A = this chain, B = another copy of it.
């Protein structure tokens, strides 16, 4: 039986753009686990009420329900050990730092480039919730959050220095093959890739080269993703 993944979708149900859901899409593909995704919108909290909370990703695997991407990755690793996402307990502990950097630095850095673009692709029924919640978070309008983004590109790209230093020494964050560390960062970068046409990375950036290789992994899962028009 397939695992069911509740997956954030736009007005176009094929448009999937959550940085956290993408981490799990990659992790499931890494393990070769069949998945059935259910398009889900921000305001459909009733649909995932069975998970005891209101955000995606949520997975249902038989009788087991798990939410929160880090917890889901841990569940998948325990339940389906091979091929490994983490390479053992210390590998998992170290991957948590990558997860924390992605959540605490990368997500916030990207948000300021695509917040208004997100408004354009989400389902119309999500728009009031999205605008009010995000404008409260940023303390300004969606338009103001995204404004002047071209001038902030250099500062954003500076945030990627740790990735560059790693990728100069090894092909993947996981070493000689992708691991959940790659899924975390590539999943996060699927967010602007799918939700916006604004180019965050320079083609010549070693990070762009790595992301390009990630898009081809797992039968081209990332490459095939629907993108904003």
Which A residues are within 8 Å of any B CB, using their own CB? 84, 86-101, 103-105, 161-166, 169-170, 172-176, 179, 181
Contact = CB atoms under 8 A, between A and B. Distances in A.
Given A88-B90, A179-B90, A100 B161 contact: yes
B170 A105 contact: no
A222 to B, nearest CB: 20
A179 to B, nearest CB: 5
A15 to B, nearest CB: 29
Task: State the number of copies, please.
Answer: 2
A92 B170 CA distance: 11
B166 A105 contact: no
B97 A166 contact: yes
B104 A165 contact: yes
B179 A93 contact: yes
B165 A100 contact: yes
Contacts of A175: 89-90, 92-93
Contacts of A100: 161-166
Contacts of A87: 87-91, 93-94
Given A105-B162, A161-B105, A162-B101, A90 B93 contact: no
